[in-house]
Structure 1
Amino acid sequence: MIRLTLMALFLSSLVRAQFPPSPDYPKGYFSNPLSIPISLSGNFGELRPNHYHMGLDLKTERRENLKVFASAEGYISRIKVEPGGFGRAIYVNHPNGLTTVYCHLNDFFPELEKWVKDLQYKKESWYLNDEVPAERFPVKKGQFLANSGNTGGSQAPHLHFEIRRTSDEVNLNPMLFGFPLADQTKPTILRVAIYDRTKSVYEQSPRLVPVVNKGSGEYSTAVQTVSTPKVSLALTTYDTHSGSSNLNGVFEAVLFDEEQPVVGFRMDQISYDATRYLNAHIDYKTKQGGGSYLQHLSELPGYINSIYTRFNGDGVVDLSDGLVHELSIVVKDAYGNASKVKVPVKFNGVQAPRLALPGKRFYPMMVDIFESEECEFIIGERTLYDSVSLVHRKQPAMGAGVVSSVHTIGTPSIPLQDAMMVRIRLTESLTDFHKSKVIMQRITGTRKEVQKVSWEEDWALAGFREFGSFQLVLDTTAPEIIPVGFKDGANLSAASRVVFTVTDNFGKWKVLRTELDGKWIRFTNDKGKNFIYVFDEHCPPGEHELRIVAVDEAGNEREEKWRIRR
């Protein structure tokens, strides 16, 4: 036991010595924003689809309307109201140069709620992302801000809480600020993956290696003999905290070769501008195929401003000496609890043959283009994370309204950071009016999305952040505006609200205008579902005309009017 403790202390100090020193964040400056003990359903850096989780998800006892308090003295600097994402959120700037963010809220405190409503009517917009004058709402530490909720992109009641640098809005790991949270649990390591790094990570399936749990945070694998002189590793791992069964993310992991650090990642600060780079940190292909999250212990060549620190290379290990390399990975949480897995690997001296791949080769950090008679696509320098051979296939148009061939580009198992530009040529002659109603559609399995296009003669151009099959579609059908529970001439004197929904044949639309008697009226649209107006002073008793205008991606517009009585 003493030997294991000393080993853990040695490895812990070794890992800390290699990373750039973290700022000395003030411990105890920020208080728990809830009146109940902190329990996490999500932590900073946790792996989510297309992004890192950028704060803490604090449990609210599976219910809404718990009081949310300011974590420190400051002033309300920004308010956000949106159908997805944060839902209803408050930003508070603090004198120490940091900002706290409180998300998925229900009602704000009364004075702020009134200010927000007045601003929405002034701007004639329910959606807000607005700065608040610094002197307007100063707050004290522990002051009531709002009730917790489940608004926006939230799937269940909780409080999403962030700490950012005010100057550049880079998110910091709140677990480094000394919040009271019991954590004596070590991260769990489930499996290791080995990659042949003479190939692209997207043009192979890794060798998944089971691990043996030896207890006390120690794991091991059998010796792995491989047919490649260059390998990298990834692992599936998670962390919990004392008294919780939620599988949260880990804080850091470091790859060692013969006890010498090679490369490691640390979840201490991430910008929203960089959060999509999660797709370079994980084995995207395996996850897209229904597998587990595998976190690379190597830095892909297209990962810009990454969370990795290079100690002695990028994580690709050279096995050409034919010796057994005692590789290992040390994983830690933000409280210093550590686990270690040993992965001895050896090259067998016989490299597997490399097969020629069809398609054109594209590389990260390079701009390149594919051209054919009816389709072109442009890959920008910050679009790919690793090199790939991309195949283009053309098929005849199928389905009503399709006015081009169908062009399949690449495979959805290859992630994109920036959008690629796709150009498709019409295969039918259209008037200028009908060209204005053409959209580009991407299809992947049952998933579909459309984008508005720009034109260069008979070529349509649009940007997409996923590969798939692309076609041009003529859309002349306007969206439908559907009243819920009322009709023209309805007497709503006993009702508390009026509700409508919108549908569209291609699933992409927006509401341009909501009016009552010719004046803008505030309909909420949480989670992008029902539009709801709760009767208030803007709709006094009597006869009224309700007018709604919606438009789709092709520019088709629908207007509906109803007479209602209050």
Structure 2
Amino acid sequence: MIRILSVLIIWAIVPIFAYSQPVWSNNKYPLVDFRQPLDIKPPALSGSFGELRSNHFHSGLDFRTNQREGYPVFAVADGFVSRLRVQNGGFGLALYVNHPNGFTSVYAHLQRFGPEIADQVKRIQYYKKSFEVDELVDNSLLPVRKGQVIAYSGNTGGSAGPHLHFEIRDSKTEATINPQLFGIEIPDNVPPVIHSLYVYRLNHKVFNELTPKQYFRLTGSAGNYRIHHVTTLRLGGEVGFGIVTNDRHTGASGLNGVYAIQLELDGTVIYSSSMERFEFVNSRAINAHIDYPHYLKTKISIQKSFVDPGNPLKIYSNILNYGRVTFNDGKLHRMKYTVIDGRGNKSTLTFNVQSDNQAVIKTPEVKADTIFKFTDRNEYIKDDVRVILTKGTLYNDVYFSAKKLPRQSYNVYSSSYQIHNNKVPLHTGFELWIKADSTLIPYQEKAVILNASGISQGGSFEDGYVKATPRTFGNYYISVDTIAPTITPLNISEGKRMGNVSKVTFKIRDDLSGLKSFNGYIDDKWVLMEFDAKTATLWHTFDDLTLSGKHTFKLVVTDMKNNAKTYNVTFYK
């Protein structure tokens, strides 16, 4: 039996060194070990743990920083720096700290590291001659104390604005866990909002983009919701339910994700999900958790209350018949949704269902070339195209089809192929082989597979085919990338005096296969170039090694197909 407890009440009564009993969890977490990572008061979020994002669940808390960078970031507990990471995108500048209690705190999108940590990162970058690094650190090298300033908040990597991304992970498994379960308090006395209800006519068939569904507008507030102008739904056959819901916090926090969703039928729980923890390898299964075809069309995330059989997420419990309900007894039934946030605030949606065999809505039949089973490895070979899906790629069986399309008109070295459709979510990429024209032979090392939008999926030439691993079904064809990246100097030119300039700056871009590497040299010695992928800005900050006088600067930028562009210039310091 699931116990619904108020985290607010628990936090008020537990003694020091106690462990918290989080909402809808049998696990216990240390409640008082960790402090807040920022001193901004009151803390406010722009993103919550488990929040629904494009192709992934949000893996931590995004703390607002008043749309500014440079706030001190504090170690939340004693420990040692275990990992140093610098990425062009992703987390940008990130720091991992292991703690004696078995958990790891993560701080991402940082503007800069603390001085001692920054020195160590720079040593690694120069040793590896790479801006991007991902280095495990010996536990004796960088010890930290609770409350020590270890970095400053920023906007690096894939960040869409200044904030601090903060996580707590299990040090052994790397699973990420909701930080609110560790006493990281966010002011919140506002219950979640339930916006709408959807009913899916499943009829004992595979859920896909053709499954009929009905939308019901809701009315209510302050945690109590009902269907607008409807007291009883008349349903027949096998159905599934889904809701659109999110959470609001007190104060400056924005619209965030909820912690848990529970669905009851006549007082019996038939579905529960809770965002307590998840493994990164399964984060893409968000596309099985939601109505993925609906999201592609509307960007609205309906959280399904029925589980696809190939869904690997471990966020579910008390699931009866995968959450599917069959109404065939002619009786009146009571349905109840309960939605809870990370602080224990609760909202409910109740409605009646009258079982009615005359209310069945048939699911359309699907024509297909073959059936791909979610339990199997699947392969399709026809018309100079091969499609291979490893076991674990699909969440459901798929009525698969593919066909040859009219050729694209420019820079094309194969027929185009429609590989099923993009409305079927995939957990991992699939292997795609397309037969190449004989005219590709002189350019085979430059071959790429493009989708209908002209975006590269990578590619390598093998046995007359180009193969790649796209992440979605769609339309694909072969092209080549023979054009080098572009380099645009912003503040340097031949013979320029740079004595009062702190750094040299460029814009770099690639039009097809993507940037692979960039390397800068002053007087033929490698120097650190830093990169912001959001703005395509590349720069080197001068240090004491660049003395007064005449110098040469060389920048080499290479794309994924090894097309290289070189920029040379002489300057004076």
Same fold? TM cut 0.5: yes
Corresponding residue for residue 532 of structure 1? 539
Residues 240, 324 of structure 2: 8 Å contact kept: yes
Corresponding residue for residue 274 of structure 2? 266
* Residue aligned with 2:127, SS: helix
Structure 1's 36 and 334: CA in aligned 2 closer, same or farther, altered over 3 A?
Answer: same
| CA distance, structure 1, for counterparts of residue 62 and residue 278 of structure 2 | 16
Corresponding residue for residue 403 of structure 1? 413
Residues 111, 152 of structure 2: 8 Å contact kept: yes
1:533-548 matches, cutoff 5 A: 533-548=540-555
Corresponding residue for residue 209 of structure 1? 216
Equivalent residue letter for 2:375: M
Residues 188, 217 of structure 1: 8 Å contact kept: no
Residue 479 (structure 1) aligned with residue 489 (structure 2): no
Equivalent residue letter for 1:76: V
* Residue aligned with 2:187, SS: coil
1:233-272 matches, cutoff 5 A: 233-244=241-252, 246-272=254-280
Residue 345 (structure 1) aligned with residue 319 (structure 2): no
From 423, 427, 434, give the equivalent of 2:433. Answer: 423
Corresponding residue for residue 434 of structure 1? 443
| CA distance, structure 1, for counterparts of residue 497 and residue 251 of structure 2 | 54
Residue 502 (structure 1) aligned with residue 508 (structure 2): yes
Corresponding residue for residue 564 of structure 1? 571
Corresponding residue for residue 371 of structure 1? 381
* Residue aligned with 1:450, SS: coil
Residue 146 (structure 1) aligned with residue 151 (structure 2): yes
Residue 516 (structure 1) aligned with residue 522 (structure 2): yes
Residue 286 (structure 1) aligned with residue 278 (structure 2): no
Residue 77 (structure 1) aligned with residue 82 (structure 2): yes
| CA distance, structure 2, for counterparts of residue 311 and residue 468 of structure 1 | 33
Equivalent residue letter for 1:473: S
| CA distance, structure 1, for counterparts of residue 129 and residue 409 of structure 2 | 40
What is the RMSD computed on CA atoms of the aligned residues? 2.3
User: Shift of the alpha carbon at 1:176?
Assistant: 0.9
| CA distance, structure 1, for counterparts of residue 287 and residue 543 of structure 2 | 46
Corresponding residue for residue 461 of structure 2? 455
Corresponding residue for residue 302 of structure 1? 310
Corresponding residue for residue 6 of structure 1? none
User: Shift of the alpha carbon at 1:172?
Assistant: 0.9
Structure 1's 147 and 474: CA in aligned 2 closer, same or farther, altered over 3 A?
Answer: closer
From 209, 222, 234, give the equivalent of 1:225. Answer: 234
Residues 397, 403 of structure 1: 8 Å contact kept: no
| CA distance, structure 2, for counterparts of residue 47 and residue 463 of structure 1 | 25
Residues 203, 388 of structure 1: 8 Å contact kept: no
User: Shift of the alpha carbon at 1:366?
Assistant: 2.0
For 1:374-393, what per-residue CA distance to the aligned partner results, in whole angstroms no more than 9, with x for missing partners? 21212222222223323323
Structure 1's 305 and 495: CA in aligned 2 closer, same or farther, altered over 3 A?
Answer: same
Equivalent residue letter for 1:171: T
* Residue aligned with 2:396, SS: coil
Residues 93, 108 of structure 2: 8 Å contact kept: yes
* Residue aligned with 2:286, SS: helix
Residues 78, 90 of structure 1: 8 Å contact kept: yes
Corresponding residue for residue 357 of structure 1? 366
Equivalent residue letter for 2:493: K
Residues 521, 538 of structure 1: 8 Å contact kept: no
Structure 1's 151 and 214: CA in aligned 2 closer, same or farther, altered over 3 A?
Answer: closer
The unaligned stretches of length 5 or more in structure 2 are 7-20
* Residue aligned with 2:438, SS: coil
Corresponding residue for residue 334 of structure 2? 326
* Residue aligned with 2:244, SS: strand
Equivalent residue letter for 1:98: F
User: Shift of the alpha carbon at 1:464?
Assistant: 0.6
Residues 12, 338 of structure 1: 8 Å contact kept: no
| CA distance, structure 2, for counterparts of residue 366 and residue 18 of structure 1 | 37
Corresponding residue for residue 195 of structure 2? 190
Residues 18, 311 of structure 1: 8 Å contact kept: no
* Residue aligned with 1:435, SS: helix
User: Shift of the alpha carbon at 1:205?
Assistant: 4.9
Residues 328, 356 of structure 2: 8 Å contact kept: no
Corresponding residue for residue 11 of structure 2? none
* Residue aligned with 2:418, SS: strand
From 269, 278, 285, give the equivalent of 1:277. Answer: 285
User: Shift of the alpha carbon at 1:83?
Assistant: 1.6
Equivalent residue letter for 2:457: Q
User: Shift of the alpha carbon at 1:90?
Assistant: 1.2
TM-score of the two chains, using structure 1 as the length reference: 0.92
From 19, 23, 46, give the equivalent of 2:27. Answer: 23
Structure 1's 494 and 503: CA in aligned 2 closer, same or farther, altered over 3 A?
Answer: same
User: Shift of the alpha carbon at 1:512?
Assistant: 4.4
For 1:477-535, what per-residue CA distance to the aligned partner results, in whole angstroms no more than 9, with x for missing partners? 22222222333333323322111222223151222432222211101102352111111
Residue 469 (structure 1) aligned with residue 475 (structure 2): yes
Residues 103, 160 of structure 1: 8 Å contact kept: yes
Deviates more, 1:171-180 or 1:507-516: 507-516
User: Shift of the alpha carbon at 1:280?
Assistant: 1.0
Residue 120 (structure 1) aligned with residue 125 (structure 2): yes
User: Shift of the alpha carbon at 1:461?
Assistant: 1.2
Residues 453, 460 of structure 1: 8 Å contact kept: yes
| CA distance, structure 2, for counterparts of residue 20 and residue 32 of structure 1 | 24
From 39, 45, 48, give the equivalent of 1:43. Answer: 48
For 1:432-490, what per-residue CA distance to the aligned partner results, in whole angstroms no more than 9, with x for missing partners? x42222111112xxx44213323332122110101221000122222222222333333
* Residue aligned with 2:37, SS: coil
Corresponding residue for residue 18 of structure 2? none
User: Shift of the alpha carbon at 1:216?
Assistant: 4.5
Equivalent residue letter for 1:57: D
Corresponding residue for residue 493 of structure 1? 499
Corresponding residue for residue 134 of structure 1? 139
User: Shift of the alpha carbon at 1:282?
Assistant: 1.0
From 91, 98, 103, give the equivalent of 1:86. Answer: 91
User: Shift of the alpha carbon at 1:343?
Assistant: 3.2
Residues 289, 413 of structure 1: 8 Å contact kept: no
| CA distance, structure 2, for counterparts of residue 109 and residue 144 of structure 1 | 7
| CA distance, structure 2, for counterparts of residue 470 and residue 40 of structure 1 | 40
For 1:67-95, what per-residue CA distance to the aligned partner results, in whole angstroms no more than 9, with x for missing partners? 11111111111111112111111111111
| CA distance, structure 1, for counterparts of residue 365 and residue 200 of structure 2 | 19
Residues 193, 223 of structure 2: 8 Å contact kept: no
| CA distance, structure 1, for counterparts of residue 483 and residue 325 of structure 2 | 57
User: Shift of the alpha carbon at 1:417?
Assistant: 0.9
Residues 404, 428 of structure 1: 8 Å contact kept: no
User: Shift of the alpha carbon at 1:557?
Assistant: 2.5
| CA distance, structure 2, for counterparts of residue 235 and residue 477 of structure 1 | 48
Structure 1's 548 and 399: CA in aligned 2 closer, same or farther, altered over 3 A?
Answer: farther
1:141-180 matches, cutoff 5 A: 141-180=146-185
Corresponding residue for residue 559 of structure 2? 552
* Residue aligned with 2:157, SS: coil
| CA distance, structure 1, for counterparts of residue 448 and residue 433 of structure 2 | 12
Equivalent residue letter for 1:546: F
User: Shift of the alpha carbon at 1:118?
Assistant: 1.7
Deviates more, 1:142-151 or 1:19-28: 19-28
Deviates more, 1:522-531 or 1:418-427: 522-531
| CA distance, structure 1, for counterparts of residue 424 and residue 259 of structure 2 | 26
User: Shift of the alpha carbon at 1:100?
Assistant: 0.6
For 1:117-140, what per-residue CA distance to the aligned partner results, in whole angstroms no more than 9, with x for missing partners? 122111111111111221112111
